[in-house]
Every structure is written in structure tokens, then in C-alpha cells.
């Protein structure tokens, strides 16, 4: 049974539609990431679940309970705010204890649980500090402990990593995921960082202009994006506009390229062939596939990114750097002519917007 359920949720303010007909089911213990560019409605959705924004239509359920019109303090959600929103005039321990005080938990039990929560986020030694005296990462952990201690029905994370530097972000991401799984928390994560969403979520909801583009596991969304927007937003991709000439044959100008057979009608407009840069193979000149000229190679450490010019536009290919080192694949020279090919199942003919 789903722990969090959104039914036809809608939010309109200032006559703009922030969220439109959103339907979601989040299972007990599942981490669902709402992902999209700014203004896509993901934060509004989270704030509707927390009770800060009243929905214009639709309903919100926590389990069996309809909370659509419940005030925020009666919802029993635990939220980690983007800027953490710590109470600056209270100590770390007082911050963490606040939710228990509001629930009128006996004092001695409060003390035990605060200690436990702070140990969980490895901050027990800083209990008496003021938030201002902590680093960004430590403040973030206080915010986590403060939200977790109340054992919320729904755990809400609003861009929790956006104020951390890149190195810390990866670490904290793993920590949050581990905590969430250990405690079995039903979680909604809002992020604009596709890598964060891919690596932490059980399922992703890709949103744009208040509407859902695609819902699926990270694998589904990456491997089988429903349209060009999703393909572009999750991971990197090459997009070549054209049309499906026959099943498995995609035509762009004079070139015909292999593609997976799709549901997209052969004549549908705005189609583009999508191939992930890591799925393209580089072959010798004159070989099967798309003729291409090497324009630039960028060494990225673990991978090397090659940019090619072709008849159908520029194409990016990433190859593990180890391949070039190990000699299984020869190095490329700028200006050199090669041919690019891929397995038919890696070429997807995608519409611009699957919903139209």
C-alpha cells in the first residue's frame, strides 16, 4: 500500500499553473526524487505535501489519512529545508529536541532520543554548540537529525545538498541514502541535480512546467527516456533530428542510422534519434556507420570525451580512458576521419514531448 499518495494534485497561483494534475504513489520506505529545471513545480509539490502551499485541486493522502486540508503542524512530516532553517538562537540539542517538545514527549525520554539522533548523524560532541558555530555539512546533519527524530510519516528533502561543496555532496548523499534505508523512511527528495537523483532515488519523477514527463527507476529513465526533454535532462545525449523511415531505420538528411523499433508513429513530427555518448563505438574510416571527423578530445580522467563533426551535426562520444591506455583502442588524431556506429537498441527515436 502506498504511504504517500497524490491524486490529481494541482496548484495555481497568480494565474500560472505551478503543478498540473499530478498523480503519484510512494510506497512505504521508498525514496522518490522529484527532478526538473527550476520552475518545474517540484518544490511547489513538496510544499503542498508539507502543507505550506494549499493545493488548488486534488488530494493528498498519508496512508489512509486525507491530509489535503490539514495544517502543516498536524501533518507529521519531517522536512530538511534548503537553507536548513535551523533555529539560530537555540543550541544543536535544543534544535533537535524541538519536535519532541511539540509532541509533549517526557523530558527524560527527550534527552535519550536527542542523544541517539545526534549519534546517528555523528554530532553528539557538538550538542551544546549554536548552529552558527558549525560548518555547512554539520548544519546539514543537525537539520537531518531534527527532522528524523520525530519519526515522520513522510520525510521531505528540499534540495538538501545544494549548499554543500561538491566533495561533501557525494559523501552526504550516501549518508542520507543509508539512513533513509536503515530507518525505512518514505521519502520525497526535490533536486535539480540529475546525478543526485540518479544515485539516491528508488524512482525518479521528471517534471517540467508543472507536469510529469516521466516516472520510473533511474535505469528506466536513463535507458528508456520517453522524450527528448527527459533524455537531455537525465545524463548526456546526442540528438539528431529526422524521421523513422522504416522499423529500425532512422533517416536524417542523406544518412540512415540504426534505431530501436519504437511506438512513435513513423511519420510523427519533431522526432530525434537519441544515442548516449557512452554507447557509441568508434570504427575505422569507411567502416559501417556514420562518417565523422574528429574535432576535439577532452580528457576527463576516468573517461575521455571526443567531439565529432558529421553530416547530421556534432556528436559526442565518451570512452573509458583505460581503453586507450590498454591499447585495445587506438588513440584518435584531430581531423582524422572515422565511422561511428551503435547497436540498434541504443538508438531511440524520441518525440520532443511524449505527452503531445
Partner 1 sequence: MRFSTSARRLAVVLAYAAMLLPLVTVAWLSFFAQPMMAFPPEGYSLRWYANAWSKPQFAGSFLLSLQLAAISALVGVGTGTMAGYAIVRGNFRGRRALGALLLSPLAFPGVVLGTGIYVFFVQIDNAVDLQIVATLPGLIAAHVLLALPWTVRIVSASLQGLGRSQEEAAANLGARPVTAFLRITLPSMRSGIVAAAVFSFIASFENLEMTMMLTGPGYSTLPVEMLSYLNFNMDPTLAAVGTVQTVLIAALLLVADRFVRLSRVTS
Please give the residue ranges that form the binding site for partner 1 (CB under 8 A): 50-52, 71-79, 81-83, 85-89, 98-99, 102-103, 146-147, 150
Query: CB of residue 104 vs partner 1: minimum separation in angstroms?
Result: 9
Among residues 280, 291, 306, the alpha carbon closest in space to that of 337 is found at: 291
Query: CB of residue 13 vs partner 1: minimum separation in angstroms?
Result: 12
Query: CB of residue 168 vs partner 1: minimum separation in angstroms?
Result: 21
H helices within the chain, ranges in order?
Answer: 42-50, 92-102, 107-120, 136-148, 166-183, 194-200, 218-223, 228-233, 321-326
Side by side, the strands of the sheet bearing 2-13 are 16-27, 2-13, 57-62, 65-66
| Residue closer to partner 1 (CB basis): 71 or 301 | 71
| Residue closer to partner 1 (CB basis): 85 or 215 | 85
How far is 161 from 207, CA to CA, in rounded Å?
19
Query: CB of residue 150 vs partner 1: minimum separation in angstroms?
Result: 6
Report how far apart, in Å, the C-alpha atoms of 11 and of each of 54, 60, 72, 289, 294 are. Answer: 8, 12, 17, 48, 49
Strand, helix or coil at 261? coil
Query: CB of residue 128 vs partner 1: minimum separation in angstroms?
Result: 18
| Residue closer to partner 1 (CB basis): 61 or 98 | 98
Q: Which residues contact 316 (CB under 8 A, 6 or more apart)?
A: 236, 238, 277, 305, 306, 307, 308
| Residue closer to partner 1 (CB basis): 189 or 257 | 189
Q: Which three cell numbers stand for residue 181?
A: 534505508
How far is 11 from 180, CA to CA, in rounded Å?
28
Strand, helix or coil at 303? strand
Query: CB of residue 44 vs partner 1: minimum separation in angstroms?
Result: 14
| Residue closer to partner 1 (CB basis): 156 or 348 | 156
Query: CB of residue 244 vs partner 1: minimum separation in angstroms?
Result: 49
| Residue closer to partner 1 (CB basis): 77 or 310 | 77
Q: Which three cell numbers stand for residue 237?
A: 545525449
| Residue closer to partner 1 (CB basis): 83 or 286 | 83
Query: CB of residue 62 vs partner 1: minimum separation in angstroms?
Result: 14
Among residues 216, 164, 205, the alpha carbon closest in space to that of 36 is found at: 205
With beta carbons less than 8 A apart as the criterion, state whether 326 and 237 touch. Answer: no
| Residue closer to partner 1 (CB basis): 52 or 299 | 52
Report how far apart, in Å, the C-alpha atoms of 3 and of each of 62, 64, 66 are. Answer: 5, 8, 11
| Residue closer to partner 1 (CB basis): 89 or 236 | 89
Name the burial class of residue 353, with classes exposed (0-12), middle (13-18) and buried (19+) by CB atoms within 10 angstroms of its CB: middle
How far is 297 from 276, CA to CA, in rounded Å?
17
Query: CB of residue 147 vs partner 1: minimum separation in angstroms?
Result: 8
Amino acid at each position: 500500500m502506498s504511504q504517500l499518495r497524490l491524486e490529481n494534485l494541482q496548484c495555481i497561483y497568480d494565474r500560472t499553473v505551478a503543478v498540473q494534475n499530478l498523480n503519484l504513489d510512494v510506497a512505504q520506505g521508498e525514496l522518490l526524487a522529484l527532478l526538473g529545471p527550476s520552475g518545474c513545480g517540484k518544490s511547489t509539490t513538496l510544499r503542498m505535501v508539507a502543507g505550506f502551499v494549499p493545493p488548488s485541486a486534488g488530494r493528498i493522502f498519508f496512508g489512509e489519512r486525507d491530509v489535503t486540508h490539514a495544517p502543516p503542524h498536524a501533518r507529521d512530516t519531517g522536512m530538511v529545508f534548503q537553507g536548513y532553517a535551523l533555529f539560530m538562537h537555540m543550541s544543536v540539542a535544543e534544535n533537535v529536541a524541538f519536535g519532541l517538545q511539540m509532541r509533549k514527549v517526557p523530558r527524560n525520554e527527550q534527552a535519550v532520543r536527542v542523544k541517539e539522533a545526534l549519534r546517528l548523524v555523528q554530532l553528539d560532541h557538538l550538542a551544546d554548540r549554536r548552529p552558527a558555530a558549525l560548518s555547512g555539512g554539520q548544519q546539514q546533519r543537525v537539520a537531518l537529525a531534527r527532522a528524523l527524530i520525530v519519526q515522520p510519516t513522510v520525510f521531505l528533502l528540499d534540495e538538501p545538498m545544494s549548499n554543500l561543496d561538491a566533495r561533501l555532496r557525494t559523501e552526504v548523499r550516501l549518508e542520507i541514502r543509508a539512513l533513509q534505508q536503515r530507518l525505512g523512511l518514505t521519502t520525497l527528495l526535490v533536486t535539480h541535480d540529475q546525478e543526485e537523483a540518479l544515485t539516491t532515488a528508488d524512482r525518479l519523477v521528471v517534471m517540467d512546467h508543472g507536469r510529469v514527463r516521466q516516472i520510473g527507476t533511474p535505469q528506466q529513465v536513463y535507458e528508456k527516456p520517453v522524450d527528448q526533454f527527459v533524455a537531455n535532462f537525465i545524463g548526456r545525449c546526442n540528438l539528431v533530428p529526422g524521421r523513422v523511415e522504416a522499423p529500425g531505420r532512422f533517416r536524417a538528411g542523406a544518412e540512415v542510422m540504426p534505431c530501436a523499433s519504437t511506438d512513435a508513429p513513423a511519420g510523427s513530427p519533431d522526432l530525434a534519434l537519441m544515442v548516449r555518448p557512452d554507447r557509441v563505438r568508434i570504427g575505422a574510416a569507411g567502416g559501417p556507420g556514420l562518417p565523422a571527423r574528429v574535432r576535439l578530445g577532452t580528457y576527463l580522467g576516468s573517461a575521455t570525451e571526443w567531439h565529432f563533426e558529421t553530416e547530421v551535426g556534432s556528436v559526442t562520444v565518451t570512452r573509458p580512458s583505460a581503453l586507450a591506455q590498454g591499447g585495445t583502442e587506438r588513440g584518435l588524431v584531430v581531423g582524422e576521419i572515422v565511422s561511428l556506429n551503435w547497436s540498434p537498441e541504443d538508438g531511440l527515436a524520441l518525440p520532443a514531448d511524449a505527452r503531445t
